[in-house]
A and B are shown apart, each in its own frame.
Chain A
């Protein structure tokens, strides 16, 4: 029996929105292109094993190569960009398509709508990202023998967890941008490619970024030139986890608050 005096229970409402949003996200063109980009290292891994392995200098071990891919390709670039292009559009897509009205005229709280959509985003990007990392791991590291694989397995799990954390916290941040701003892409790009550079500076400045915490959690430290090499800090793991969790809660909470108080008007 429905209780018509209250909105639907939060989890039930979010679950319904989750299923509805998941359909739209998984089968979108955006996901197709994201999957292609996130899967590029798999292709590179195959190329490496077939052609490049014998030609690269012996100092470049398979594990180093895998670490470089995880840090430079996934952690610093694709994961934040995937979060930006998906999460900032969670509400904006519904607004543009004028379908948001259907959700706003159901007995569900706005918070449940946003959380359901966020969960669908997270599941979608995790499904596209993590298997690609696992495939890359096996393709690249089996080149060094089974010993090389087994020694690196803890790093694989750690990397998967850190990438998932990155998708979570960047997703929360860009969800907030998406509900707060009409055009969140440019500010999002500025954040990623300008603000996050603070992570390369000395002192406390890196703690104002997201990437500094994520970088500290992975064990890979590929060589890099410039100020990153000079001042790169490794922050304590407990601090990183606390800060990432805190940021996720704050960003998502702010996004829910803004979404709950905003009016959405659609004219034909």
Chain B
């Protein structure tokens, strides 16, 4: 097993009476690790501890063999993509990267080269000369990622990196993360959406109420989830035609029409197979909208915690 890049040894963090992280012992090795948990589970706290933004109230947190808190030199080799959407809006995208690369110790020529490279990686070359204040949410998210990547760190900590991105950008970022993992970098990606994490890695850490609930392969988690009925709601032009095409499927447990008539709510034990079969049915019935309350892990965690 590769040497751990990040180690938590009985690490706890509390704010007054609130325990945000409770006696966590875990190691994160090179490769991509997904950090999963609902909002308020402690994902951000864990990431901030790893990134040296917080000191543990108890225990130890080390990154690349050094204490994370109070060691600014680790940021030569660590990159953080923070969650808040915050920039110095008066700067252009390029100026933003150049300023931060300067604070990472690069000379002017290398700063320019790295900034251009990072902008190309996140597909922001065309917008690099525009002020960040004029960027869309997705562009800002990509720029945040660019500043974390620009100095080619060994460890990347990404806090909800796909938030606000369009599908094409999400795909690009996911591919990039997988590539970095294959190159031996340690990438920690936090999210509350399981299939996003699954698209990037199978190694997950489940966190809930400040504790590590489970750690390991995402398939095992998926198996657990598969025992939990998955609800999908669809709005279609011809809801009855949709109902007719899905009801015969063996993994559909139940089906109900919504009060307004356009909605059909399906419960399935095999969401993957259901989604695979859905496009054909969707074309026939004219599906307009779809959502699943079980797509985030809140309900799953409730289920897992209850178990």
Question: Are both chains from one complex?
Answer: yes
User: How distant is the Cα of A101 from the Cα of B83 in the complex, in angstroms?
Assistant: 10
B91 contacts A by Cβ under 8 Å: yes
| Interface-facing stretch out of A15-23, A41-49, A184-192, A209-217 | A15-23
- Does A16 contact B44, Cβ atoms closer than 8 Å? no
B106 at the interface (CB under 8 A from A): yes
Q: Which of A72-80, A223-231, A249-257, A259-267 forms contacts with chain B?
A: A259-267
> Which stretch in B72-80, B201-209, B261-269, B289-297 binds the other chain?
B72-80
Q: How many A residues face the partner with a CB closer than 8 A?
A: 34
Q: Does A54 contact B (CB under 8 A)?
A: no
Q: Is the beta-carbon distance between A2 and B84 smaller than 8 angstroms?
A: no
Which residues of chain A (9-64) have a CB below 8 Å from chain B?
A: 12-13, 16-17, 19-20, 23-24, 27
Known contacts: A6-B73, A12-B105. The answer to whether A105 contacts B90 by CB under 8 A is: no
A106 B86 Cβ-Cβ under 8 A:
no
Which A residues lie within 8 Å of B85 (CB)?
A: 268
Chain A positions within 8 Å of B104 at CB level: 2, 8, 106-107
What are 18 A-to-B residue pairs whose CB atoms are below 8 Å? A4-B77, A8-B104, A17-B103, A20-B103, A23-B88, A97-B88, A99-B86, A102-B100, A105-B79, A105-B80, A107-B72, A107-B73, A110-B72, A263-B54, A263-B55, A265-B54, A266-B84, A266-B86
Query: Is residue A103 within 8 Å, beta carbon to beta carbon, of the partner chain?
Result: yes
Q: Using A8-B103, A108-B103 as known contacts, say yes or no to A263 and B53 having CB atoms under 8 A apart.
A: yes
Instruction: List B contacts of A99 (CB < 8 A).
Output: 86-88
Among the listed A27, A102, A108, which residue makes an inter-chain contact with B90, where contact means beta carbons less than 8 Å apart? A27
- B102 interface contact, C-beta 8 A: yes
Q: Is A104 an interface residue (CB 8 A)?
A: yes
Instruction: Give the A-binding residues of B (Cβ under 8 A).
Output: 44, 48, 51-55, 72-80, 82-88, 90-91, 99-100, 102-106, 147
Q: Judge whether A109 is part of the interface by a CB distance below 8 angstroms.
A: yes
Q: In the docked arrangement, what's the CA distance between A4 and B77, Å?
A: 8
Instruction: Give the interface centre of B48, B52, B86 by most chain A CB atoms within 10 Å.
Output: B86
A8 CB contacts on chain B under 8 angstroms: 103-105
The reply to whether A24 and B73 form a contact with Cβ atoms under 8 Å apart is no
- Decide: B82 and A266 in contact? CB cutoff 8 A: yes
User: Across the interface, do A105 and B84 meet the contact criterion of CB distance under 8 Å?
Assistant: no
Per-position binary interface string of chain A over residues 74-117, scored 1 when its CB falls under 8 Å from any chain B CB and 0 otherwise: 00000000000000000000000111011111111110000000
A238 within 8 A of B: no
Contacting B84 at CB < 8 Å: which of A6, A19, A98, A110?
A98
CA distance A7 to B66 in the complex (A): 13
Decide: A267 and B53 in contact? CB cutoff 8 A. Answer: no
Q: Which residues of the partner chain B approach A110 to less than 8 Å between Cβ atoms?
A: 72
Q: Is the CB of B53 within 8 A of A264?
A: yes
**B103: which of A4, A6, A103 is its contact (CB, 8 Å)?**
A103
Select A2's contact among B44, B54, B99, B106, beta carbons within 8 Å: B106
Report whether B44 and A101 are in contact in the complex, using a CB–CB cutoff of 8 Å: no
Query: How long is the Cα–Cα vector from A267 to B86 in the complex, in angstroms?
Result: 11
Name the residue of chain B whose CB is nearest to the CB of A4. B76
